[in-house]
């Protein structure tokens, strides 16, 4: 017998109305949201025993305000809804840059898009709009360099999303916990703690992907004959005398992320921040997942400004010798990864500008009337 829904209960699922917004994610789970052209609101803030959004902070005062609280801007989020469709973009705040647009992920996606040969556009122009299979086959034809640039961009986008989700966990915990009686020694668990564990793990997985796609791209640029699909194999195949001329190798050397191995002038090794980041990634992916230590099962809040009701959430990451806040740790590597890949896009010699479509490139335009 076929079972059907009785229909006795019925409720509309509401869609967000058309809107857009901008927010800045901050360390500790705090957030600044743009209220008006030059006005920001802070959240969550404790007032009258409740978590609230409090404003205003002028754009000109924003940097000084955050400095006095020792809060670090992590990334800018732009989001919106249009006819039920949500859009969201994340732009890491790289300290060495004043302009944070476009993001490193966008730069590498632009590089990939700009490598599309003109013949492909000619092939597409000959396709009918309904020839989906043929269009897919044409679009999937990519050179190794083009595919790797796209893979780098996608991995960097995944890093953006991981950081956004870790911050969201902090924000939710902070919003809830500041309404409780304050005791800096109190530790709090969470029923969604696995969400944090999984997202921290994902961050290091995607960091490794971006690193290895980057290594493969360098190998293709150098014309290395050996199969290179990770950073370790790249190092094994690099010859400082033969390959130091490449712009990306020069960048890694300049940043102190590569250096000749001691006593072996014919071999490069990782160094500096990149070496420590790769080692942490190895531990997180191959030795133990985040959350395996007892101290990593719970977090706490710290008061930053009693008068203004401003707090931050802290969740530990434990090593053999020390403890760190896991969001601070992730953000440290996120900012340096973003810095590296932004510089790499600029130094690569590839075109990272936004692809501009001509009228002949557009097959069809669909416009629906707003109800």
Strand positions, DSSP E, 3-136: 19-26, 31-36, 39-47, 50-58, 73-82, 85-92
In order of 62, 92, 148, 170, 334, the CA distances from 102 in angstroms are 22, 9, 19, 26, 16
Pair type for strands 73-82 and 50-58: unpaired
Could you give the CA distance from residue 44 to residue 53 in angstroms, rounded to a whole number? 6
Q: Enumerate residues 6+ apart whose C-beta is below 8 A from 204.
A: 280, 281, 284, 285
Angle of CA points 74, 77, 81, to nearest 5°: 165
* pLDDT score of 189: 95
Query: Rounded to an integer, what distance in angstroms lies between the CA atom of residue 267 and that of residue 170?
Result: 43
pLDDT of 371 reads: 41
pLDDT by residue for the chain (371 residues), tens only, comes to: 899 999 999 999 888 899 999 999 999 999 999 999 899 999 999 999 999 999 999 999 999 999 999 999 999 999 999 988 999 999 999 988 999 999 999 999 999 999 987 777 677 777 876 778 888 888 888 999 999 999 999 999 999 999 999 999 999 999 999 999 999 999 999 999 999 999 999 999 999 999 999 999 999 999 998 889 999 999 999 999 999 999 999 999 999 999 998 877 779 999 999 999 999 999 999 999 999 999 999 999 999 999 999 999 999 999 888 899 999 999 999 999 999 999 999 999 999 998 665 555 555 655 555 44
Quote the tokens at residue 292: 């395996």
The pTM is what? 0.92
Determine the pLDDT at residue 133.
Answer: 85
Return the pLDDT at 367: 52
Under DSSP, is residue 185 helix (H, G, I), strand (E, B) or coil? coil
């Amino acid at each position: 017998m076929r079972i059907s829904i009785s229909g006795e209960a019925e409720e509309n699922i509401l869609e967000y109305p058309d809107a857009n917004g901008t927010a800045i994610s901050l360390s500790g789970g705090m957030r600044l949201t743009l209220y008006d052209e030059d006005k920001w609101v802070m959240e969550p803030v404790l007032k009258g025993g409740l978590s609230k959004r409090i404003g205003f902070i002028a754009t000109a005062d924003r940097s000084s305000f955050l400095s006095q609280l020792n809060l670090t801007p992590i990334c800018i989020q732009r989001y919106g809804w249009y006819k039920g469709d949500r859009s969201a973009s994340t732009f890491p705040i790289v300290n060495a840059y004043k302009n944070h647009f476009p993001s490193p992920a966008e730069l590498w996606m632009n590089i990939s898009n700009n490598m599309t040969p003109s013949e492909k556009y000619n092939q597409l122009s000959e396709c009918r709009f309904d020839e989906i299979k043929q269009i897919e086959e044409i679009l999937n034809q990519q050179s190794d360099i083009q595919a790797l640039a796209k893979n780098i961009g996608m991995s960097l986008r995944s890093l953006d999303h991981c950081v956004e989700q870790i911050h969201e966990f902090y924000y939710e915990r902070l919003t809830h916990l500041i309404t409780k009686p304050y005791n800096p020694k109190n530790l709090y668990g969470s029923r969604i703690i696995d969400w944090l564990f999984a997202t921290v793990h994902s961050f290091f997985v995607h960091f490794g992907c971006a690193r290895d796609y980057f290594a493969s791209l360098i190998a293709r640029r150098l014309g290395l004959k050996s199969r290179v699909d990770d950073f370790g194999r790249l190092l094994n195949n690099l010859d400082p005398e033969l390959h130091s001329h490449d712009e990306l190798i020069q960048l890694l050397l300049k940043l102190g992320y590569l250096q000749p191995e001691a006593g072996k002038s014919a071999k490069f090794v990782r160094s500096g921040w990149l070496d420590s980041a790769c080692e942490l990634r190895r531990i997180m992916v191959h030795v133990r997942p985040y959350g395996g230590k007892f101290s990593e099962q719970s977090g706490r809040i710290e008061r930053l400004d009693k008068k203004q009701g401003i707090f931050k959430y802290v969740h530990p990451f434990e090593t053999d010798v020390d403890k760190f806040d896991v969001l601070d740790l992730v953000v440290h590597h996120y900012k340096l990864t973003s810095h590296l890949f932004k510089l790499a896009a600029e130094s690569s010699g590839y075109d990272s500008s936004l692809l501009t479509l001509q009228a002949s490139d557009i097959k069809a335009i669909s416009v629906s009337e707003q109800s």
